[in-house]
Amino acid sequence: MTKSKTIPFMLAAAVMTSGMMSTTVAARGNGPAGCGLGTAVVFKSPNAWWQHVLAATTNQVVSGNQTFGMTSGTLGCRSARGPLAGIQSFLDDNMSQLAIETAQGEGETLEALSQMIGVEAADQAHFKATLKANFNALFSADATSDDTRQALSDVMSQDETLQKYLG
């Protein structure tokens, strides 16, 4: 390649790489390369700029692995379905009992939910009291389990003690 052709090629490569890196960083924040196969396997501890570029390129280009990682919550990515996505099937199976126990502020199902979310022992009582106080927002007459999950996320995000469990 001649010198006059090299500069436009390098500029195009730099623009493409910076675009890939900006979308990758938004994926989670695993450094400049973001999450994906390039970060999780190929360049676990990149030090040089070119390692970050190759990791980001691998994350974006190779078999859609970053998309897979974001969807599945693997390869160093968080699930794209949100911080409480893991409790959805639990809510599907336990809505009635959870509503009863939330209204009472205690019970095995409510305890199991708090453990699934990762609420520390020191915050258990606060978690249960907060859910009890927000019962109507969590369990309206026509609420689905997805509505309850979203409402739970909203309630927790507005509470200084519980925000930390949303990731």
Residue 109: domain span: 85-166
Domain boundary (31, 49, 72) is at 72
pLDDT of residue 86: 77
Is 77 a domain residue? no
Question: pTM (2 decimals)?
Answer: 0.55
Cβ pair 32, 52 in contact under 8 A:
yes
Domain boundary (43, 72, 101) is at 72
Which pLDDT tens digit goes with each residue over 64-109? 655 555 555 565 665 544 567 778 889 999 999 999 999 999 999 9
pLDDT of residue 23: 41
